[in-house]
Structures are given as C-alpha cells and as structure tokens.
Amino acid sequence: MRLCESVRSWRWLGCAGAFRVGVGVMLLGLSLAESVPPQASCAAAPQNLTQPHYQDVTHSDTNVGFMATLVHSFLNTVQPQPFSGDLILQVVDEAVKMQLNQEVIHKILMYKVGFLVCAAIGVVYIILMPTVGSFFACCRCCGKCGGKMYQKQTSSIHCSRRTLYWSAFVTTVIILAGNICMFKSNEALKMSVDQSPEQINKSIDNICTFLTAVPQQVNYVVNESNTVIQAVASNLDAIGHQLGTKIQQQFNGTLAPALHSLRLLDQETLNTSVQLYKLNESLVQLQHSLDSLQANVTAVKNRINQTLSNPDCTGCGNLQTELQSLTLNTSISIPNLNEFQSAVDKVIKINLTSKIKEVENSFNNIPQTVTNETRDLVQSSKQQLGDIKTQISKVTSDIPLSALGNVSNTLNQVKKEIGRVTPQAEKAEYIGWSVGIAICCVVLLVVVCNVLGLLLGPVGLTPRADPRNRSCMADCGGTFLMMGAGFSFLFSWLFMIVVLLLFLVGGNVYTVICQPWNNRQLLKIFDSPNSLPGLDISQTLGLKTNLSIFAIYSDCKQNQPLWTTLHLYELINLEDLLNVSKYTEQIQQQFEKTNLNLSSITLLSPEVENQLRTFSTKATQINTTATAQSMNNISNINLNTTANKLDRAADTKSGNIQQELRNEARDLRQIQTNIETIINPQIKNLNSTIHSLQLITEKITGTVGEVLNNTGKAQDFLNTNTTQIVKTESRKFLNCQLNLLTAYADWANIMITQELGRCGPVAGAVDLVDLVLCSQVVESLNAFWFSLGWCLIFFIPSIIFSIKLAKYYRRMKHSDAYDNQISMANIPWDQMKIS
C-alpha cells in the first residue's frame, strides 16, 4: 500500500507540473493578446456623398410630332432669316426706354416680313371670303352665277361631272385629313396644359431638393473631418495599447519560447527535488528494515548454533556448514548525491518563477510605459488636430451657401403662385379646348356635307335621265354639296381670324424663343453685355473670369459639380484649406524628438547561467548501478532452504533438540516472509524512485540546454533590436494616423471638386421650360392653327367644286336634250325662274 501511495504521489506531481506549464503558456498568450481598442484603418476614407433622389419629370407623348416637321418647314419658309440676337437686345433696350425709333421699327418689319406677308394674306382671306360669299348669295337669288335651274346637255357633260366629282373628293379628303390633325393637336394641347403644372412643380421640387442637398453635402464633408480627427485623437489617447501591443508582438517571437523553456526547467527542478526527497526517505526506511532483518537473522543464527553445540544433538555437525552460510550482506551501495542535491538546491534558490514573473511584468508594462513616455506628445498632437479642425471648418463659411436659401425661398413662392393660378389656367384651358372642339366640329360638318353629297349624288343619279326628273337622293346629294359650300362661306373667315391670331402668337414664339433655344442662341443673348441688368453672375460671385449662362447650362447638362460650374476655385483656396501637411509635419517632428525608453529586460545573469550548467553536469554524473546490484542481492536472499534442512534434521532427533530445531526453522521462515512482504516492496519502491530520478536527470540536460539557447537568443534580440523596434513601430503608428488625415483631405478634395452639387436638376428644369412651352404647348398650338389653316385654304377649291358638282345632281326646273349635237328645243330664258 505504501508503495502504491508513493507511485500515485509521483504521478500527481508530474501531472501537476504539466498543468502548471500549460497554464503558464496560456497566461502568457492572454497577456500578449490583451484586449485593446480597435485601431482605425490607416487608409480608411468616409463614404462618398449620397446624391439626392429627384422626381421623374418625363411626360406622356402628346402625339404632335407628325406635324412638327411640316409646321417647322412652313415657319422656316415664312422667316428664312437667321435669329438676330442683336436685334432682340436692341428692341429690349428700346422697350426699357419706352421708345422705338424708326430704324428699329424698320429692322423689325424687315425681319418679320414673312409674317407680315402671311398676315396680309390672312386679312385678304378674311375680307374676301364673306364678300365673295355675299355676292355669290345675291347672284343666286337673282338667278345669276348658276342660280338658274337649267343645265345644258353636252357631249362632255359626263366627263365634266366625273372630273368635278374626283376633284371634290380629293379636296374633301385633304380637308378631312386636316380636320383629323385639328382634333389630335387640340387634344394634345389639352394634355400639354394639363401636364404642365405637375411637371413644373416636380422640377421646382427637384431644384429645391438640389438647393437643400448642397449645404447638407458641405456639412457632411466638414463633419467627416470631425469624425476622422476624433478617431486620430482616440488612437493617440490609446497609444499605449496600440503602439505598446505592436512592440510586444515584435518581442513575443523570441521571448515566449525563452519563458516557456524556463517554466519547464523550473518544473523539472521541482520534480527533481521531490524525487531526491523520496529517494532519501525510501533509503532510510529500507535501511531500517534491513537492520531489523540483520538483527533477527543473527539472533536465530545464535540459537541454532547453541542447539547444534548441545551434546544431545548427535549428528548435528553436518549442519555447521549450513550455519556458516546463514550470514547475510544487507548493506546498500548508495550513490553520492550530495553534490547533485547541492546543485538542485542552488537552482531552487534562484527562484526561476520570480525571474519569469519579473520578465512578464516588464513585458506587460510596455503599454503603460509607452503611455507615460508619450503623454506630452499626445497633448501637443491633439492641439494640432484642433487647429486642423478649425481650418477645415472654414470651408463652410467660404462657400456662398446663403444665396441658395434665397433662391429656394423664391422657388417656393413660385410654386405657391403656380398653385394659385392653376385653377384659372385649367378653366381657361377647358374653354380653349371647347372652342377648339367646336371649330373642329364645324370643319367636320363641312366635310360631312361634302361626303354625303358625294355619296348620295352618284347613287341617286341616272346619267341619261331628264334633269327635271332626277331622284330625290341625287337632289339631296346636290343640296348637301351646296350646304357644305354655304358653311364654308359662313365660317371660314371667322376661323381665319383664329388662324391669324394663333399664327402670329405661336409662330413668333417658335421663331423667337423655341428655335433659338434649341440651338442655344437664346442663351448666348443672356451672356451679352448689358443684356439683362443685374444678371452678371461673375460680378455677383466675385469671379475674376467671365462666367456665362451658356457655360453654366452646358456644365449642368453634363451634371457637373458646382466647383467647376461656378468656378468656385476662384473664390476658395481649397488646397490651402485642406492642406494638413503643415500640421502633420509638426506632429511628425514632435514624434521624432520623443524617445521611448523601455526598461531593459534581463532574463538570466551569467552567475545563474553557470549554476544551470553545473546543475546539468551534476545530473549526468549520477550512477545507480551499484545500488541496483545491492538491491538485487538482498532480493535474492532465501532463508527457506536453511529452514528446510533444519526440519529434516529435526525429523531424526527427538526431545528438546527436535523441538528447538523446528522452532528455529519456523523463525527462519518468518524472517523470509518478512523479507518478501516488507523488504522487497521497499526495494521496489526505491528502485522506482531511482528510475524516476534517472528519467528526470536525463531530461535536465536537454532542458537546460534549451533554456540557455532560447534565453541567449532572446537576450541578444532584446539588446540588439529593442531600440530599432520601438522606432519602427512608432513610425508605423504615426504614419497610420497621418494617413488618416491625408486620406480625409484627399477624399474631401474629391468630394467638393467632383461630387458636391451636381447641377443636373438645374439643367433639367431649364429643359423642362423648353419641353412644356415649346415641345408641348407651342408645338400643339402651331399644329392646330396649321391644320385649321390647311383646311381653310382647301375650302376655296372645295366651294368651287361643290357648287359646280351640285348642279349635276340637283333636280332642274327646265330640261335640255342633246341628240347628235342638234338642239331639240329653244329655252325661253326670259321665262326661267330661279330655283
């Protein structure tokens, strides 16, 4: 049992040693991986500016593009002269002065001669159509101009009728086509006017969103400097953890193996001391048992000798030889462990655990040392960061953002005004649309009369029938043709007034505004000197160069930023505001002047190294061969043989001699039993202890060599590279912080010069004016008057063909026959009645 307890104790000490080593390594790893604040990326930049979301101002198709080419061609023919910006500016200047001299009026008339000619033609049409209609009506009432209900029959009458029929048919189709265009353009005009307020409001909202987003974007760029500067300041406050940890990581590669080997050696030294103690204890116990054995054997041997010397013991002389062999050698050869024990005691006295703890404390105190050494440096660097923050904040004050707020207020007022006048505009639009529908219906009425006449007339006509006996259907066809001519005379001159007014308005808007706007000549007028007083943008912004409206529009059309569009680089020295190098250079100089003095780390002194070498040498000099041999000799003792001989001798004796011999044989067997139950287990225990000691001493040499090698490398590394590591890691830390500032400055420069205030919505709003006014309203209006004028022009041949064709279908009151070109009757002209 004692042997088992000894073995369990040894195993527990070995397991505990391994556990302590593992825990020590884990604690070192945890100390090296101590939690530190997260480090900012050395090249991190904020997110790019988020462009605002704008509403879609696209419009539905107004379906007037089919007429645009014809109208534009007609208007370009009417006014072939190119757009005269100088004349427009001269007229505006004279209008401001409330006077127009004869020269200007003459230029205007010459420039608008085409419109004047067309207006004159319209006036002639307006005058002649009712006049001719009146004369025609009077003549017919008097039986003149086709008013006689008589039709002369000739050989070419059928050919004439067909010619007139197809002429009237083609004319009617042309008028019908124009009427269809009138309906479509009138509906397109209505849709254009209906869509305009919503589109304008969306465009205004987009501009307001743009104007609101510009200050927000500027503030975002400036506020991001606060974030970056705060991040750098936080890193400076945590310089102990961040820089100290980096330095620790550089030391850890060589320092950790050295400390690990020292822990192993410390544990092996403790295990060796324990084994030596157990060895001494086992030897003392075994020696005590052997002394008792020797005494017992001697006592039994003396008694046997007395018995054999008894005269009554006859024939006992042969047992004297066996008695001589009963002498035992119970001495044990013990190796000299004093020197080794002395070496172990010296190593234990060194207290490697305290040495390891001392090194770990120096290692773990590196972050705090860095914090203490850089306290003044951090404070001065944070002052420089404050100066950087103040300088960057000037960007907000240098960019003229207040003007944007005034424009936004003006646009809101415009939007309110649009909302106020929208109901009246919708009401006026509805009236105009109704008038347009009425005009379209009247023109359609003329077309319907012509179509009915062209349908009913041929269907009810019998070519060779007597003109007086024509059918009612043919007569109705002729009547419808006359009705179409009558409606044409009645309304055409009124409609021509509408055409003339719309032509003068829509045509001039197209030639003076829309066409110059499309080719950008109108914008160039605004850039002319003194074109619009108070519109000198360069003077308003205080620019050195001339900034034209056309250039602004062109840049905004390409969605360029305000920096290049408004030439803000002439107002703001952005390179100077975002120049952080003058501050970063000061911070860098202060870092270079600061010396981080880390306490030196000494792993093992030369005296300790010598003691460890002695310890290793003594461990190799232990020789336990003689001890093992002596223990084998004791283990081979066998007293039972002598006891058996005594029992055989007792069998031949009698009386007391026999009893004494048997008692002495029994005592020998008892002593042998004690040897087997007490001495042999103690010998095994001692042998196990010696074996364990041998295993430990065999490892000591390798462990000591590993300790000396690892600590030597670590000490050389620390002595040689500590200063360079501190400088290198300090420079990396500094560069990281400076890169943050530099990356922000570059990012802010890009955002302000390339992303800030992309003015596409402004160009979109300007284009929307062209879209609403020209592409929708004016195009639809011009298509309407052009279609109506088209119909009115073809009213003239329609009237002529309808009146002439009607006589071929209407029922005559007087007949005329044609046979072989001989007249069969004389017509009494004086008795004819008008129809």
d(CA 73, CA 783): 12
Higher per-residue confidence, 760 vs 524: 760
Task: Tell me the C-alpha to C-alpha distance, in Å, between residue 624 and each of 11, 136, 371, 453, 683.
Answer: 22, 157, 58, 146, 13
d(CA 145, CA 148): 8
What is the per-residue pLDDT for 796? 92
Candidate from 392-406, 437-451, 550-564, 689-703 with smallest mean pLDDT: 392-406
Q: Structural domain boundaries of the chain?
A: 65-223+400-531+765-819
Average pLDDT (204-231) is 84
Give helix then strand counts, H and E, for the chain.
28, 2
Candidate from 42-56, 78-92, 810-824 with smallest mean pLDDT: 810-824
**Confidence class for position 465, pLDDT limits 50, 70, 90:** low
What is the per-residue pLDDT for 32? 36
What is the per-residue pLDDT for 17? 41
d(CA 134, CA 142): 12
Helices 65-78, 113-141: crossing angle, 10 deg rounding: 100
- Straight-line distance from the first to the last Cα atom of the chain, in angstroms, rounded to the nearest whole number: 158
For the chain, what is the largest distance between any 2 Cα atoms, rounded to a whole number of angstroms?
A: 217
- Residue 465, classified by CB atoms within 10 Å of its CB into exposed (0-12), middle (13-18) or buried (19+), is exposed
Torsion over CA of 266, 271, 276 and 280, rounded to 10 degrees? 140
What is the per-residue pLDDT for 338? 74
**What is the share, in percent, of the chain residues with pLDDT greater than 90?**
8
Query: Is residue 142 classed as helix, strand or coil in its secondary structure?
Result: coil
| DSSP label of 773 | I
d(CA 793, CA 773): 28
Average pLDDT (181-189) is 88
d(CA 18, CA 614): 25
Asked if pLDDT for residue 14 goes beyond 60, the answer is: no
Higher per-residue confidence, 127 vs 403: 127
Helix H or strand E segment including 112: none
Nearest to 307 by CA among 326, 294, 295, 320: 320
What is the per-residue pLDDT for 9? 37
In this predicted model, what pLDDT tens digit does every residue of 287-297 receive, in sequence order? 788 778 778 87
Assigned token pair, 17: 């040693």
Asked if pLDDT for residue 636 goes beyond 60, the answer is: yes
Query: Is residue 801 classed as helix, strand or coil in its secondary structure?
Result: helix
**Confidence class for position 329, pLDDT limits 50, 70, 90:** low
Nearest to 685 by CA among 284, 273, 267: 284
- Residue 825, classified by CB atoms within 10 Å of its CB into exposed (0-12), middle (13-18) or buried (19+), is exposed
In this predicted model, what pLDDT tens digit does every residue of 56-106 receive, in sequence order? 776 555 556 667 888 888 888 888 877 665 566 666 665 555 566 676 677
By the 8 A CB rule, do 578 and 307 touch? no
Burial state string for 745-770 with b = 16 or more CB within 10 A and e = fewer than 16 = bebbbebbeebbbbbbbbbbbbbbeb
Higher per-residue confidence, 537 vs 70: 70
**Confidence class for position 500, pLDDT limits 50, 70, 90:** very high
Nearest to 40 by CA among 743, 679, 646: 743
- Residue 721, classified by CB atoms within 10 Å of its CB into exposed (0-12), middle (13-18) or buried (19+), is middle
Predicted TM-score (pTM) of this structure: 0.66
**DSSP per-residue string spanning 665-716:** HHHHHHHHHHIIIIIHHHHHHHHHHHHHHHHHHHHHHHHHHHHHHHHHHHHH
**Confidence class for position 308, pLDDT limits 50, 70, 90:** confident
What is the per-residue pLDDT for 12? 35
Asked if pLDDT for residue 440 goes beyond 90, the answer is: yes
In this predicted model, what pLDDT tens digit does every residue of 544-569 receive, in sequence order? 667 777 788 888 888 888 888 888 77
**What is the share, in percent, of the chain residues with pLDDT greater than 70?**
76
By the 8 A CB rule, do 263 and 355 touch? no
In this predicted model, what pLDDT tens digit does every residue of 651-677 receive, in sequence order? 777 778 778 878 878 888 888 788 778
What is the per-residue pLDDT for 25? 35
**Torsions phi, psi of 543, nearest 5?**
-85, 155
